[in-house]
Amino acid sequence: MEWWIAREWAGPNGPVVVVSWLVWVVFSIVLHELGHGWAAIREGDQTPRWTGHMTWNPLVHMGGFSLLALLIIGIAWGAMPVDDSRMRGRHSAAIVLAAGPAVNLALAVITLVLLVLWIPLASGTLIGSVSIPEPFRTNLMLFLYYGAMLNIVLMLFNLLPAIPFDGGRILAEYVRSYREFVYSENGQWINLGVFILSFFFVADHLFRFADTAVFEISRAGWGLLGFGP
């Protein structure tokens, strides 16, 4: 099996694709976990602060094994310690869980807006006196494109209704029968199987959906700005 970095590096705009992927995966996961932490603190739980997790250091959020997995197979994960018992409100746990995907949604929107503005600006359509030369024009376009696409995938993936995804844990907060099932002995094994299968069968569909969504939204935005790529 070919190493993913070698495969992508050999393709069109390979170095930009690899760097964009590595930067956005680390940055997006760190912000996702900080989103959980900020929400937990706001809801009365100081655990993220006490454990030293309110930091931008990716090693704290992702750990060495996750970062190594990113380099080897291109995927990674993170964690934010929280204590539900220290939170104030009935919906506090769900708010904290939803905060991570919400951060990814915000990042996707921001990068999409920047992408829509960047192409007309770089080509001189928005401001006639401004024209950005290649390869910087295309490199930044790809960087923003990957940022938007990856954060859409991270948002949707984390909302899947299976433990330990945020979506599954939110569902367990409100549906007692589901909570009892997923935390039972048989339920934990079934849930583990669903979790593993999600990477093999769901992730590919999410990436295709995100790729199409970014392309179509960008094209619509460029049309509104009078730019036809």
Candidates 88, 80, 93; CA nearest to 179 is 93
- Pair of tokens at residue 169: 């844990």
- Looking at the chain, the whole-number percentage of residues with pLDDT higher than 90 is 63
Indicate the burial class of 200 (C-beta count within 10 angstroms; 0-12, 13-18, 19 or more): exposed
pLDDT of residue 228: 63
CB count in 10 Å sphere of residue 96: 27
d(CA 222, CA 226): 6
Torsion angle of C-alpha atoms 152, 158, 161, 163, degrees rounded to 10: 170
Tens digit of each residue's pLDDT (9 = 90 or more) over 8-35: 898 888 999 999 999 999 999 999 999 9
- Looking at the chain, the whole-number percentage of residues with pLDDT higher than 70 is 96
- Give the pLDDT band (50/70/90) at residue 1: low
- pLDDT higher than threshold 60 for residue 229: no
pTM of the shown model: 0.91
**In whole angstroms, how far apart are CA 156 and each of 166, 199, 204?**
10, 13, 12
pLDDT of residue 71: 94
- pLDDT higher than threshold 80 for residue 205: yes
